[in-house]
Homo-oligomer: A and B are copies of this chain.
């Protein structure tokens, strides 16, 4: 492997000159620069980023801390789209991505922040962490720049990008109300997700503004999992046959709810309207196609990467980004 030392030797100059020439500094004569560049090419030289990072104290890598790289990823394309968005932005920079998958099942003896510090990433993007995750605190409190997906924490080194979940949930609920529904249940995720809190808020707002009394027994948690949602929905629908519509805080949970309805012989959308949240790929393929609130996941990733790099280069940027949602009307909802 050629080093600048080799080049220096061949060119008959010092390593400093080589370094300067190759890095485009102005204080090197055009002649020597040309010579050095030529030799570098001939020797098939590539710089050793390790050495460079060590001395410059920045690695030009950004860490991606993602949870559940395997479990959810297949059916729920949320993570994949985020990743695609991040990649799309990062591809045009000189940063590379290093993946830290926080597989909860595996007993990593090292904490995330240890990993991050060891690998000397310049910044990190966090996705899929629960609000009470001890590591979240650890990372946020460290001085390493990070941007959080769907967790609105802001500081000089922390930014976030998320969807306007309150408004999104409100839109969903209002749509149901507009359809003539009054007995609208909500299948939420769990209490350790900011998005759940926000979506609940939107749901409540919509009900309040329409002067519909809130029935707290109709607000349940499906843990963002299809199977849990199915179980919970089965119970909910059996106990409360008067429910005519359900707003689900994720498409996957909407699928579970649809299954529950099917098993109970409740027809969707004739007897029960179901609306989801996310607009994952499958949403338009299930039967009936799912009406849902679409979030722009790709854009979330893109904006997250953009924000992080802005922070890294000390360019001022907005540290808190809210993305819009869009109602996708399909066939799982019907006017009453």
Contact = CB atoms under 8 A, between A and B. Distances in A.
Q: How many copies does the complex hold?
A: 2
B87 A281 contact: no
Given A92-B106, A101-B87, A103-B91, A50 B120 contact: yes
B70 A118 contact: no
A73 B84 contact: yes
Contacts of A61: 98
B97 A46 contact: no
Contacts of A38: none
Interface string A36-54: 0000000000111111011
Interface stretch (A20-28, A74-82, A163-171, A212-220): A74-82
Nearest to A71: B84
Interface in A85-131: 85, 87-88, 91-92, 96-101, 103, 106, 108, 114-115, 117-120
Contacts of A87: 69-70, 99, 101, 103
Interface in A244-268: none
Contacts of A50: 50, 53-54, 59, 120
A286 interface: yes
A220 to B, nearest CB: 26
Nearest to A68: B84
Contacts of A53: 50
A29 B108 CA distance: 28
Nearest to A69: B87
Contacts of A115: 96
Contact of A80 (B48, B74, B117, B285): B74
A83 interface: yes
B69 A118 contact: no
A289 to B, nearest CB: 11
A136 interface: no
A117 B46 CA distance: 7
Contacts of A80: 73-74, 80
A282 interface: yes
A59 B49 CA distance: 11
A134 to B, nearest CB: 15
B119 A49 contact: yes
Given A73-B80, A80-B73, A99 B101 contact: no
A53 B120 CA distance: 12
Contact of A74 (B77, B92, B119, B285): B77
Contact of A49 (B84, B101, B118, B286): B118
Contacts of A69: 83-84, 87
A106 B92 CA distance: 8
A86 to B, nearest CB: 9
13 contacts: A49-B118, A50-B50, A50-B120, A69-B87, A74-B81, A74-B84, A74-B281, A75-B281, A87-B99, A91-B103, A96-B115, A97-B99, A285-B285
Interface of A: 1, 46-51, 53-54, 59, 61, 64, 69-70, 73-75, 77, 80-81, 83-85, 87-88, 91-92, 96-101, 103, 106, 108, 114-115, 117-120, 281-282, 285-287, 298
